[in-house]
Amino acid sequence: MQKSPAPRPNAALDNRQLDLPLFAEPAPVVAPDASSPSLTPQPATPHSPEKPGKAPLAPDGTRLRTVVLGARTLHYRLKRSSRKSIGFVIDGTGLSITAPRWVTIADIETAIAEKQRWIFAKLAEWQTRTEQRALPRVEWSDGAELPYLGKPITVKLGASLLAFDQQTRVLALPLPPHADAQQIKDRVTGWLQGEATRVFGERLEAYAEKLGVSFRSYALSSAATRWGSCSSEGRIRLNWRLIHFPLSVVDYVVAHELAHLREMNHSPRFWQTVESIFPEFREARKQLKQHPPEMVPGM
């Protein structure tokens, strides 16, 4: 449906676009700088010297160092710099340490031992995030289950027509029982995208009216990095996979993108605009960020 563009407060923003990231990547965890071990001597901590050719490689090819802390083995990147203290950073790639050029490996590993509780706790948090993003595989066959608007539906083959029963939550497909997985996936995806077009269009109309704005056009996207986007020209794109989530989450993304027609930023005024039409946005935003992996089986 075509809409006239919404009034914009600043014509200089005409070519800008604001995105809602698909997976909001947490910032790396940075520990307070460790005092230089050479300035504050500590008891020696057992560590494992590297053996040539045995040190593991990071995904980017960087050679990692290894230290043994009790029964646990820890791998880390080491970078030398002109800084005056030892710095620890933990992110999705693991532990990175930046140390002064004059600090010995023994001193660095002593500092690691002192912070090992913090290090292992933060590494565990990142591992949990990674596991939550490891999406389970859907077995595309008769009886397959997947979420639709926050609740599971069951796929049944052998129907004469494609139909969805709201009561039983069964999606009947006109495919033979021996249909291959790709055929089933394609039919289910097509149906979900059709539902997304219908549901998202209805929610956009409702919230645009509440906010008193109009959008020029909207379309579905299959973006791997964002849930939605809005250009200052009033063009909105919504990721079709939102159809897996409860309607409250869909409404949050819709309200988020429409609010950009008033505020092309993420300022406090922007969030006030979102709240004015969707007061429950905080809970929905939290659910979107912390969704269980099974909520998006097609990513």
Domain residue spans in the chain?
Answer: 11-24+137-295, 32-114
Tokens of 241: 């996979």
Collapsed DSSP state (helix, strand, coil) of residue 136: coil
Distance between alpha carbon 99 and the CA centroid of its chain, in Å? Answer: 32
Residue 25's identity, in one-letter code, is: E
Q: How confident is the model at residue 71 (pLDDT cuts 50, 70, 90)?
A: confident
| pLDDT of 107 strictly over 80 | yes
- How do 170-173 and 151-157 pair as beta strands? parallel
Contact of 61 with 133, CB cutoff 8 Å:
no
Residue among 105, 59, 130 nearest 97 (CA): 105
Count of residues in the chain: 299
Q: For all residues of the chain together, what is the average pLDDT?
A: 80
| pLDDT of 182 strictly over 70 | yes
Residue 129 is classified by DSSP as H
Residue among 122, 119, 92 nearest 108 (CA): 119
- Angle, helices 181-211 vs 268-277, to 10°: value is 100
pLDDT recorded at residue 70: 87
| pLDDT of 212 strictly over 80 | yes
Contact of 223 with 239, CB cutoff 8 Å:
yes
Read off φ and ψ for residue 264, nearest 5 degrees: -85, 60
Residue among 86, 89, 96 nearest 33 (CA): 86
Buried b (16+ CB within 10 A) or exposed e, 179-207: beeeebbebbeebbeeebbebbeebbbeb
The count of other CB atoms within 10 Å of the CB of residue 244 is: 23
Instruction: Quote the pTM value.
Output: 0.60
Q: Is 169 left (phi over 0), alpha (psi -120 to 50) or beta?
A: left
The fold adopted by the segment(s) 11-24+137-295 is Zincin-like (3.30.2010)
pLDDT recorded at residue 235: 93
- pLDDT tens sequence across 238-294: 999 999 999 999 999 999 999 999 999 999 999 999 999 999 999 998 888 766 444
Collapsed DSSP state (helix, strand, coil) of residue 53: coil
Beta bridge partners of residue 297, listed in sequence order: none
Give the integer Cα–Cα distance in Å for 246 and 199.
12
- pLDDT tens sequence across 113-142: 999 999 998 888 877 666 555 445 678 999
Range ranked top by mean pLDDT from 41-50, 57-66, 228-237 = 228-237
Please report the sign of the dihedral spanned by the C-alpha atoms of residue 232, residue 247, residue 183, residue 225. Answer: positive
- In percent, how much of the chain has pLDDT > 70? 73
Q: How confident is the model at residue 218 (pLDDT cuts 50, 70, 90)?
A: very high
Contact of 243 with 189, CB cutoff 8 Å:
no
* Distance in angstroms between the alpha carbons of the first and the last residue of the chain: 27
Residue 285's identity, in one-letter code, is: R
pLDDT recorded at residue 175: 95
The count of other CB atoms within 10 Å of the CB of residue 56 is: 11
| pLDDT of 43 strictly over 90 | no
Read off φ and ψ for residue 276, nearest 5 degrees: -65, -25
